[in-house]
Each structure stands twice: as C-alpha cells, then as structure tokens.
Structure 1
C-alpha cells in the first residue's frame, strides 16, 4: 500500500513561497530531469466524482500543473520559483483554486509517456529548489474504510462491509442419458 500523503494546493503554494528566489527544477525519475526550458502551460482544476466498487460515492478536487518541454531548447536555466508563483497569480485571478485540492504535476516528453505525478520531496540544493515527482497510483477506497478488495476467504467479492449478498447458484448435471459413445451411431 502506498503511504504517500498527497499535498494540498495551499500547502504547495506556501512551500514555493519559502524559496521564491531559487531556480525551480523538476525530477521525474532517478537522474531524469524536466529540461530547463520547460514552460508551465496551464493549471487545471478538476472536480472528481466517483462511485467505488463498494457503491460509495466519493468526491475531491485535483489541481494539475502541466509542464511542457519545447522542441528546441530555449533556456539553459529553469525558471525561478518567483516566475512560477507569478503564473499561479495570473491563473488564480481568473480561476479560484480550491486550497485543499490535491496537487499533481502533468508531464511527458519523447522519452517519458505523459502522466500525472505527485510532488514528493522538495529539496533545496544550492540555488535550486528541486521537486522530486512521485508516480500516481491506484487504490481501493473500500480498504481504507475497513473493507476488503478482491475475494474473501468465504468466496464473497469486493468490497465494502455489507455489500449486497449474491445468491449462490446450485449447478446440476443436466445429462439425461449416456452421451455419444463409439459405435452407438449418434455421431
């Protein structure tokens, strides 16, 4: 089970404000970096409403920061955190973002399929603020409520306590006479 605590939008912004003069870098894998010439192309707010396998409705909001690497390198050095904060200010003038929304960073390039990742560790190193990106993951909400996921020892299926009881079906042998045997002429 993944123990990553998702970061809320307000906490994310406050963390950036602590190092506004540093250069903002993103690492998406061991030794894999978003090119310094990246752009923040958009910030999306996505309200999510779902029904899980136990029949329970869930809702939350995601704030997704999209990064893009231009085809040709445009800068030797990534943007400063203060520039990213200025972009956030422009966005929030038009779109008030949920302060409790879960932050995700969306990124991909020709060597890395586009995906949404969580901001993991923030590392202040010299003049750089490095955000180490952590892959998104799937989860079963029924388990977090104390249910189970999959088949239980008694053969019941997913997921939540009190899930609808499925009737057991009794199978019977429907053959009425010996079936086709060699020499009987039935084949």
Structure 2
C-alpha cells in the first residue's frame, strides 16, 4: 500500500481556503477526534535511513499532535483560523520544511496513539473535515523496482535466516587405548 503524501505547504494551503470553518478530524470510520481537542505541538522530524537494499533515504516529516482533554469543554470547537494561528506561532520559532510530509498524531483511551496521514479534506457546512488514513510499512527497495536486498549470490536480506549446519567430526577417543570394560577395575 503506497499512500499519497501531502506536503506541508499543500496542507497549509488547504486550511487557508476555509479559515472560518470548524476543523474536525475523523480517525476511523465513524470515529471522530472530540471537538474540544487541542493542537499541543507541531514537530519537525528529519529522517535518515538505509533500506534493506542498502540505499540511503532522507525525508522530513511535519507532525501535528492532537490531544483530547479528559473533561468536556462545551461549545469548544477549533476553527481553522485558530489552527493557522498556532502554525504561524510555530513557524515564528522554527523553519518548517514546505516539502515535509504531514502526519497527524492522535490517540485516546479507545485508540492507541499513532501517526496518520491527512487524507480527504471535505467542506461540510461550517466544518472542514480531514479524514485521516493509517500509515503502513513498506519495502522501499521493491517500491523502486528493485528487489529486497538480493545479493549477487541470490541471498535476500529479508529472507528468513537459515540455520547454520555444521559438520561435527566424531572421534573415537577409546580407539587404540586400553578401554575400561566391566570388571577391569578402571572405573
């Protein structure tokens, strides 16, 4: 499964189209982040990795963290312009990469905290709804048309490890010597 990633500049541009709307997040079918959520921080994470094919990869992720308070706050729903003011505050402190991949980090007592991608943006009345899609693992070597670390000898780095078979040479230690036999008194 290959996700279509949204970069930071595109994410902000989509928000800027709906400043007066309430910003809502759907994290699973029929499951919504409570309207009284807070944006607690925006993180920039430069990633450097080497994949199983031996290729170095680098990218940047911009992670927007959402938090649901335990107590209900009636009438509190974040407007897009409030989210944009938080973004502006963060960008006054750190330079966020416009090409960074956006992820939304969220969890609550019924949903383990995880990072998801902003998928569909849907304007619905006074709401701007962002449907979140799960992240998934992938094999970059296969995705770029290669194989998963196959060596010239045909060994793959991701193949299950084969047990090492060692030959054990058996040696008869008693051969050519006086051996201990029953009744010989040697034992």
Aligned 8 A contact 2:54 2:149 in 1? no
Number of aligned positions between the proteins: 167
Residue in structure 1 matched with residue 75 of structure 2 by the alignment? 76
> 1:61-110, CA deviations, whole angstroms, 9 ceiling, x for partnerless residues?
00000000011011334211010000000000001100000000000000
**1:144 CA drift (Å):** 2.0
Q: CA deviation at 1:4?
A: 1.9
**C-alpha distance in 2, partners of 1:136/1:76?**
32
Residue of structure 2 equivalent to 1:37:
36
TM-score normalised by the chain length of structure 1: 0.81
* CA–CA separation in structure 2 for the residues paired with 1:107 and 1:143: 30
Which residue number corresponds to residue 51 of structure 1? Answer: 50
Structure 2: stretches of 5+ with no match in the other structure: 159-163, 173-180, 182-187
Q: Gaps (5+ residues) in structure 1?
A: 160-168, 178-184
TM superposition shift of 1:171? 6.7
User: What's the Cα RMSD here?
Assistant: 2.3
Radius of gyration: which is bigger?
A: 2
TM-score, with structure 2 as normaliser:
0.81
Runs of 4+ in structure 1 displaced over 4 angstroms? 169-177
Please state if 1:5 is matched with 2:19.
Answer: no
